Chains A and B, each alone.
Chain A
Amino acid sequence: MKEQDKPFKNGDKPFVFRGKYLLFIVLILYGLLFIGNSQAAQLALQKSGKTIVKIVPILLMVILLTSLLNFFLQAKQIARHLGEESGGKGWFWALAAGVISHGPMYIWYPLLEDLRSHGMKDAFIVVFFASRTIKIPLLPIMIDYFGLTFTLVLSFYLLIGALIQGLIMEILQPQN
């Protein structure tokens, strides 16, 4: 197993900014676009700015949620609820959390990374991401566009599919 594939402990690591190279590459891309088509680059910057404004409240909520989980649940308890010994309860929580989670996927990376370092199974992260396709606030819009039958059938298969993906992940990447 590669070093980067191992769950790591946040608390033990010194503070280091991550993703500097990605940010650098993206800045270069913006620079190139500014040279080639400054209007498009300005529009892309505006859109990115709007995204930041939109996700800040969700980000603050996720920070608070991470803190509350870490404050009220000890690492052992997290492992008990979401780790190897969690049983059916863990699968249910991963599925439910995915369905009710808001915002873009990457907003949840730090929380999931934290839970993973405390013993959360990789299979549950897969279930969480897969079940996020069902967006409760957006269901009325989906029904409006595609009909009730389509929405119900799709949601059913998405939930079953999320659980099967988690089970396959357990076989592909078994954890102790």
Chain B
Amino acid sequence: MDKKQTKRSPQRPTFRKVLQKSALSFLALSPLLLGIIGLVGLFQVLVTPKMLAALFKGNGVIDTLIGTLAGATAPGNPVVSYLLGGELLKQGISLYAVSAFVISWVTLGLTQLPAEVEVFGGRFTLYRNILAFLFTMLIATLTTLTVQVLT
């Protein structure tokens, strides 16, 4: 019994130590997180919804690409993308473009790129963002086509 206990103690640290270690690793990342939050704040002020809405041209294919890029640039809560997307639909912008905009708002983040590179590495970030970019356009197209067939 005693043997077991003495064997176990060096392997399993106390919860307090584990918590301390986790808190320290978050603290080490705090300049990075503050940097992103600051960038998001700047983008929220400098990139207005009006500016984003003005980007769309009324061409389905180009608008899907613009929707993906605009969603990747825009920061903030995804609800804002729904509000903006709803307004864009009312303005006659295609569902392809609006779907791409709503998806890329969450999956792609220009302001988060420096942090993603720092934490996961350049190659991972490059692959993930290329995949997210291509799949945003693919999913937006498939969703719109399926909705058109179903309704």
- Whether A150 contacts B26 by the Cβ 8 Å rule is no
* Chain B interface residue number, banded: 35 or more
Interface of A: prevailing SS? helix
Q: Is the CB of A23 within 8 A of B31?
A: yes
Q: Which residue of A10, A19, A132 is within 8 Å of B35 (Cβ)?
A: A19
Known contacts A19-B31, A105-B109, A145-B86: does B123 contact A5 (CB below 8 Å)? yes
In the complex, the answer to whether A70 meets B18 with C-beta atoms within 8 Å is yes
If A2-B122, A44-B42, A133-B106 touch, whether A10 touches B114 (CB-CB below 8 Å) is no
- Counting from the closest, the 9 A-B pairs by CB-CB distance are A19-B32, A48-B41, A5-B121, A22-B35, A26-B38, A23-B35, A44-B41, A47-B41, A23-B31
How far apart sit A46 and B131, CA to CA, in the bound complex (Å)?
A: 34
Interface footprint category on A: 35 or more
User: A48-B37, A138-B79, A165-B132 given as contacts; is B32 within 8 A of A6 (CB)?
Assistant: no
Q: Which residue of A lies closest to B21 (CB)?
A: A11
What is the minimal beta-carbon distance from A130 to any residue of chain B, in angstroms? 6
Q: Could you tell me if A19 and B115 are in contact, using CB atoms closer than 8 angstroms?
A: yes
Write the B114-146 contact mask toward A (1 if CB under 8 angstroms, else 0).
Answer: 111111111110011001100100110011001
Supposing A47-B41, A63-B23, A67-B22 touch, asked if A113 and B86 sit within 8 A by C-beta, the answer is no
Residue pairs across A and B with CB atoms within 8 Å: the count is 216
Let me know if B139 and A161 touch, CB within 8 A: yes
Complex contact B147–A4 (CB within 8 A): no
Chain A residues near B44 (CB-CB < 8 A) = 44, 47
Interface of B is mostly: helix
Q: Which residues of B contact A133 (CB under 8 A)?
A: 78, 102-103, 106-107
- B29 interface residue (CB < 8 Å to A): yes
Sample of 19 A–B contacts (CB below 8 Å): A4-B122, A10-B25, A17-B30, A18-B31, A30-B38, A40-B46, A44-B45, A47-B45, A48-B38, A55-B37, A63-B19, A104-B40, A105-B106, A109-B29, A138-B79, A146-B89, A149-B151, A150-B95, A165-B131
Report the nearest A residue to B87, measured CB to CB: A145
CA of A10 to CA of B143, assembled, Å: 41
Docked pose: A46 CA to B15 CA in angstroms: 36
